[in-house]
Amino acid sequence: MSEQPNSRCGYCAIVGRPNVGKSTLLNRLIGQKLAITSHKPQTTRHSILGVKTTDEGQIIYVDTPGLHKRGDHAMNRYLNRTARSALADVDMILFVVEALRWTDEDQAVLETVSRLDIPILLLVNKIDTVKNKEELLPYLDTTSKRFEFSAVIPLSARKGDNIAPLEKQVLSGMPEGIAYFPEDQLTDRSERFFAAELIREQLTQRYAKEIPYALTVEIEKFEEEGNLYRIHGLIWVEREGQKNIIIGAKGEALKAVGTQARIEMEKFFDKKVFLQLWVKVKKSWSSDEGALSRLGYSD
């Protein structure tokens, strides 16, 4: 991207409580799937940069784990630390809430971000789920008075409603400067990272509430052979019973996860993928700070 006298470049953090649609919003803004999504809270476990470059400038969006009040567990503490650390040195905050809802966790997020002396945009997401649109007006009026927001934008990250005005508002709030990243770069994360996330996405979407929080994925092997990626993934769980559920009768459940993850990888990497998966037990890994660090959950 050439240096333009009026070009803009800056960092914009996407924050909110769990399950308000932050990752869906990042994917919509970038125009490509970078962050895995599911209907389960705390699907996002890492901060991910999404780089959007246009003729007018470059916006580096920072997707964050949901800020929440459940801090009595090592994984929960890690998620909160990760989300808060992503707020350092950003130029703008997109505070995402869910239409017609305001919870104690939303209030806690607002209290966290309101301490920062930078513009904060309130994004009211999931307006497509509101059947009676007249209910939005009093909600928007009440919520907009909770803080002196730079703007209040109702939108649907899933459908793309009001995304263009949002992008225009964000770009206008970025400082003047040249691009930090090459114009063809979309993220700071490695292909190995995305391979693990795409496997975890399939597991999170397929299993009952408790299992996704007790598992993580480690990529043991990632090799490129021409137009083929050879990937070995290791799924860690906390109990033998969870391992049995994920493998399933005659290995059919694990095979189904591997097949769909491979399809998603081939779309994401634009390569053929040979994927093999194993499941192992590491007791209480998610409540052990040392185990978390060894499995890639480090600050």
16 is known to lie in a ligand binding site:
yes
Consult the annotation and say whether 20 binds a ligand.
Answer: yes
Do 105 and 149 lie in one domain? The reply is yes
Check the annotation: does 18 bind a ligand.
Answer: yes
pLDDT of residue 39: 86
> Binding residue per annotation — 182?
no
* Across 190-201, average pLDDT: 97
Q: Is 267 annotated as a binding residue?
A: no
Q: CA 73 to CA 124: how far, in whole Å?
A: 29
128 annotated as a binding-site residue? yes
63 known ligand binder? yes
- 110 and 204 in a common domain: no
Q: Are residues 157 and 205 in the same domain?
A: no
Q: Does residue 76 have a known ligand-binding role?
A: no
Flag whether 180 is in a domain: no
Report yes or no: 221 and 263 within 8 Å, Cβ to Cβ: no
- Residue 133 shares a structural domain with residue 221: no
- Which stretch of 133-137, 175-179, 195-199, 290-294 has the lowest confidence by average pLDDT? 290-294
Q: Are residues 54 and 131 in the same domain?
A: yes
Q: Is the same domain home to 148 and 46?
A: yes
- The answer on 275 and 199 residing in a single domain is yes
DSSP assignment of 217-256 equals EEEEEEEEETTEEEEEEEEEESSHHHHHHHH-GGGHHHHH
Angstrom distance (rounded) from CA 66 to CA 209: 17
Asked whether residue 126 is marked as a ligand-binding residue, the answer is yes
Number of structural domains found in the chain: 2
Contacts of 19 (CB under 8 A, 6+ apart): 39, 40, 41, 42, 43, 66, 98
Regarding whether 89 and 35 lie in a shared domain, the answer is: yes
DSSP state of 196: H
CATH assignment of the domain containing 218: 3.30.300.20
- Residue 296 assigned ligand-binding role: no
What pTM did the predictor assign?
Answer: 0.91
In a shared domain, residues 165 and 202: no
Q: How are beta strands 92-98 and 57-63 bridged, if at all? A: unpaired
Kindly state whether residue 179 falls inside one of the protein's structural domains: no
Contact of 59 with 14, CB cutoff 8 Å = no
Which residues form the domain of 248?
191-294
Q: Mean pLDDT over residues 211-223, rounded?
A: 94
Of the residues 124, 143, 172, which one is the last residue of a structural domain? 172
Contact 125, 96 (CB under 8 A): yes
Is 273 assigned a ligand-binding role in the annotation? no
* 5 assigned binding-site residue: no
Q: What is the CATH number of the domain that holds 158?
A: 3.40.50.300
Give the tens place of pLDDT for each residue, 71-125.
667 888 888 899 989 898 899 999 999 999 999 999 999 999 999 999 999 999 9
Q: What tens digit of pLDDT does each residue of 278-292 get?
A: 999 999 898 888 888
> For residue 166, is pLDDT > 70?
yes
Percentage, residues of the chain above pLDDT 70? 97
